[in-house]
Amino acid sequence: MHATETEALDWAKHIFAELPVAGLLSARPIRCDPQRGRITVAFPARPEFCNLVGSVQGGMLTAMLDLAMSFAVLCALDDGHVVPSLEIKTSFIAPARPGEIVGEGMLVRKGHSIAFMELHGRQAHRPAGQPSHHCERYRPDPPARAGRGGVKRRPRQALRPPCGPAGGPVVKVARKTGDQRP
């Protein structure tokens, strides 16, 4: 593990310069905290990464996020380890547009051979922590009524999504499980 943030950031910059996928994505590490297993990486989302409607294609975003999550773990390990993906789950909250994407990768849990990571991605022009397009499903709590056998039952209600304003993260949470064996 790298002792300081400066040391870890220099290490990440060196590895990114040699790593073909980091070059393809023009990945640039911005911050790195090896004690907490966190890294922030910037990616320029070029127009050639876009789909037919002008949004960055989901697979390109997932590749960016995968790279950042892997390095969140790698910065917390000794040299010689690799973090191939075992499973990735990505939730796209809002469309990403061409421009800079910032991914903040975090090591959630590390076992002997498997690590769990999480990442929040956003457009660079939006402040960190700005709320995303917020939609959640909930069931209102209607008054109970007597059913069969005198048991009080609640009437069935459709789920209604209350939605807030758009903006904020492109990807709320991407989770990755990776094998960290050397």
Which segments within 6-161 are labelled E, that is strand?
28-33, 38-45, 85-92, 99-110, 114-123, 145-146, 152-153
- Stated as kind and residue range, the H or E segment containing 6 is helix 5-18
Tokens of 108: 């959630």
Bigger pLDDT: 179 or 22? 22
Query: Where does the pLDDT of residue 42 fall: very low under 50, low under 70, confident under 90, or very high at 90 and above?
Result: very high
**How confident is the model over 124-182, as pLDDT tens digits?**
876 555 433 222 223 334 445 555 555 555 444 433 333 333 334 444 444 555 555 55
pTM of the model: 0.69
Tokens of 131: 């709320």
Please tell me the CATH code under which domain 5-130+164-179 is placed: 3.10.129.10
Domain ranges of the chain: 5-130+164-179
- Specify the pLDDT at position 89: 84
Tokens of 87: 């499973």
- Specify the pLDDT at position 81: 81
- Specify the pLDDT at position 127: 57
**How confident is the model over 62-86, as pLDDT tens digits?**
999 899 998 998 888 877 788 888 8
Q: How far is CA 125 from the centre of its chain?
A: 17
The Cα–Cα gap between 133 and 65 comes to 19
**How confident is the model over 83-122, as pLDDT tens digits?**
888 888 888 888 889 999 999 999 888 888 888 888 888 8
On whether the CB atoms of residues 79 and 118 are closer than 8 A, the answer is: no
- Stated as kind and residue range, the H or E segment containing 169 is strand 169-179
Q: How far is CA 85 from CA 48, 54, 66, 117, 148, in A?
A: 25, 28, 8, 10, 51
Q: Does the pLDDT at position 47 exceed 80?
A: yes
Say how many C-beta atoms besides its own lie within 10 A of residue 53's C-beta.
Answer: 6
DSSP per-residue letters across 16-27 = HHH-HHHHHTT-
- Contacts with 147 (C-beta within 8 Å, 6 or more apart), sequence order: 153
Sign of CA dihedral 44, 49, 55, 56: negative
